[in-house]
Amino acid sequence: MKLNKTKDKTKFKEAKLRSFTNHTGVLATMDRANVDTDQIIPKQFLKRIERTGFGQFLFFDWRFHDDGTTNPEFELNDPALANASILVARENFGSGSSREHAVWALDDYGFRCVVSSKFADIFFNNSFKNGLLPIVLTEEEIDLIFELNSKNGPLEMSVNLQEQSVQIGDRFTAHFEIDQFRKDCLLNGIDDIGSTLSHLDHIKDFEAKRGYPAVD
């Protein structure tokens, strides 16, 4: 592996992510399957080059009528969910085109995790790279969350990444699986590049022993 051998001395930059350890937040349920990325953030709002500012356009076509007025029938427009930070949806969340903006929009809106029984692969991977925790539970567990929330909502859910558990008071507890590397990145608030840079001393030693130019 040769680093910085070119004259421009290209530098690697890691994304600054919020670390994720424990989180308790208001639970918002979206009783919809196959929520795709064009519904999460419509294509007309993809012109920004920053990662911020997309939250205002999240689920835009569902949140607003054609005349720009708020659609009171849409789940997230419930005033009680104004500060929701955990989203629970049906299967195949994040399907469609591979736009990273979908994750940016959810994060910018205020969501720290999304819970579903199945995620589209690219959305799932993009979530980890941007500090959003996607949690996979069984369909039966998702059904129970919807049932509890419909009868007693809005509820709060607690997520413990270290223990890989979610809990709604004393009414519901479940555990989820997560790759250890992705877990460590979230716990430390780093992306793939940040993880690589944490081994920079070893990389420098490796390069020096082979006579390559020093890594900046």
CA-CA distances (angstroms) from residue 214 to 3, 50, 199?
8, 31, 15
Domain around 156:
22-189
Q: Note whether residue 116 is domain-resident.
A: yes
Count other C-beta atoms under 10 Å from residue 132's C-beta: 23
Q: Note whether residue 2 is domain-resident.
A: no
Position 91 scores a pLDDT of 97
Number of domains in the chain: 1
Q: Note whether residue 216 is domain-resident.
A: no
CATH of the domain at 155: 3.20.19.10
Position 89 scores a pLDDT of 98
Give the whole-angstrom CA distance, residue 170 versus residue 22.
Answer: 17
Q: Note whether residue 200 is domain-resident.
A: no
In 3-state terms, what secondary structure has residue 20? coil
Average pLDDT of each block of 10 consecutive residues along the chain (216 residues)? 42 67 96 97 90 95 96 96 97 94 97 98 95 97 96 94 97 97 93 51 59 62
Do 57 and 42 contact (CB within 8 A), yes or no?
Answer: yes
Maximum pairwise Cα distance, the chain: 67
Phi, psi of 193 (to 5 degrees): -65, -45
Q: Are β-strands 156-160 and 84-89 bridged in parallel, bridged antiparallel, or unpaired? A: unpaired
Contacts of 74 (CB under 8 A, 6+ apart): 59, 62, 63
Q: Note whether residue 207 is domain-resident.
A: no
Position 123 scores a pLDDT of 97
Q: Note whether residue 145 is domain-resident.
A: yes
Rounded to a whole number of angstroms, the CA Rg of the chain reads 20
Position 208 scores a pLDDT of 60
What token pair was written down for 25?
């937040």
What token pair was written down for 75?
């789940």
Model pTM score: 0.83
Q: Note whether residue 13 is domain-resident.
A: no
Q: Note whether residue 204 is domain-resident.
A: no
Q: Which of 128, 183, 140 is nearest to 160 (CA)?
A: 183
